[in-house]
Amino acid sequence: MSVSHNNQPLPHFSDIINAQSVLKNIVKRTPLERSKSFSAMSGANVYMKLENLQTTGSFKVRGAYYKISNLTAKETAAGVLCASAGNHAQGVAYAATKLGVKSTVFMPVFAPPLKVIATRAYGAEVILTGDTFDDAFKAAAEFGEKTGATFVHPFNDPYIIAGQGTVGLEIFEQLRDIDDVLVPIGGGGLIAGIAIAMKQLNPRIRVIGVEADGAQSMKVSIEKGEPIVLNSVSTIADGIAVKSPGNLTFDVTRELVDELIVVNDAEIARSAYLLLQRAKILAEPAGVAAMAAVLFNKTDLKGRNVVPVISGGNINMSILEQILEKGVMDEGYRARIAVLIPDQAGMLKSIISILEKVKASIHDIYHERSTTSVPIGFVQVTITFNLQDTSQLATILTELENRKMQYQVLK
């Protein structure tokens, strides 16, 4: 391993090769699938690297296992710990259990219950503490000092970077003729590993990093010439909502990554919906950032062989519900209207009869009488309904107008 400017070792290509041999029968060699739909939509030849199908649901297990497998006997006996509310926690828990090492995971108290359950199921002791991730991180550091357990950093560690770099080796083995690899960036462990692998295998392959609009810590750091800490981050892609890159990941990115681009939450949500609908692939918001960059033409990829890394699939169910709801409404197969009608028997029935005419199926109905915007003697009825054809909404609205009903289409 060579040394970065701050005396920490940067992994070499040989470390990634070594990591691959260690991980051989531990992690899945995930598929690289060409997508006809997304190729047609973007004008590029799109091959998806499906790390959402990895053990534990994300690429994180690669780095975690390689790191823990390199501990000394003394370190192994003292156990490992990490602070994470997401995929890193599950990767560490799974890897430690597999290697017979005790693991303790600190999570903030608001951590999604499903992630807590999954992490415990992989064998970790989960300690919920603090309101924020920083609180959990502090508690983990104190625990480490007290117990001597090794802290497994989510990205700023040479073994973690080398482990994540095995994704790059696999991509190259699966498709030699690559022009661009697009990688989501949180702390930068995944892109650092992939960049080291790709640039060694073929320096002409472009490595492009993708950050969430509300968490551009790597982009800002590269522009400023040093790792900086953002005051706050805000994005639905919680897996890449990182306030600051590591010094190691920053060094590798500055040296080897060709371009950094950003996608916003609306683009991420739309891409997650399209992945599910067109490709039957369930990915979390952070996991679809690279695909969003492809679908929303954030850089010129026309006619090129591009590989967006779908980095994880551990989606929060309430976010999934919102993505699906919004996706169906954006496509015009679900609509929501608010109609103001006299509060009399039979009035609701007349609206329902209009919907029945076009065979629209009602999703839900909500009555509102008590707000000041509803005049006395009236009721506002909000109806959400599914359509068989996007043109049907216009027919329904015309019918409401013919009956002199006041309505508003809600988004």
Which residues are designated catalytic?
A: 60, 311
DSSP assignments along 168-236, one per residue: HHHHHHH-S--SEEEEE-SSSHHHHHHHHHHHHH-TTSEEEEEEETT--HHHHHHHHTS----S----S
Of the candidates 375, 404, 380, 407, the one whose C-alpha atom is nearest the C-alpha of residue 393 is 407
CA angle 290, 96, 120 (to 5 degrees): 80
C-alpha span between 243 and 250 (Å, rounded): 13
CA 206 from chain centre, in angstroms, equals 22
Cβ burial, residue 12 (10 Å; 0-12/13-18/19+): middle
DSSP H or E stretch at residue 308: strand 305-310
The answer to whether the CB of 157 falls within 8 A of the CB of 60 is no
C-alpha span between 61 and 26 (Å, rounded): 9
Other C-beta atoms lying within 10 Å of the C-beta of residue 394: 9
26 residue type, one letter: I
CA 357 from chain centre, in angstroms, equals 41
CA 66 from chain centre, in angstroms, equals 23
C-alpha span between 176 and 198 (Å, rounded): 11
Whole-angstrom Cα Rg for the chain:
25
Token pair of 398 as six digits: 């015309």
Sorted by sequence, the CB contacts under 8 Å of residue 401 that are 6+ apart come out as: none
Q: What is the DSSP letter of 12?
A: P
C-alpha span between 237 and 273 (Å, rounded): 14
Please state the φ and ψ torsions of residue 184, each to the nearest 5 degrees. -65, 145
C-alpha span between 103 and 96 (Å, rounded): 6
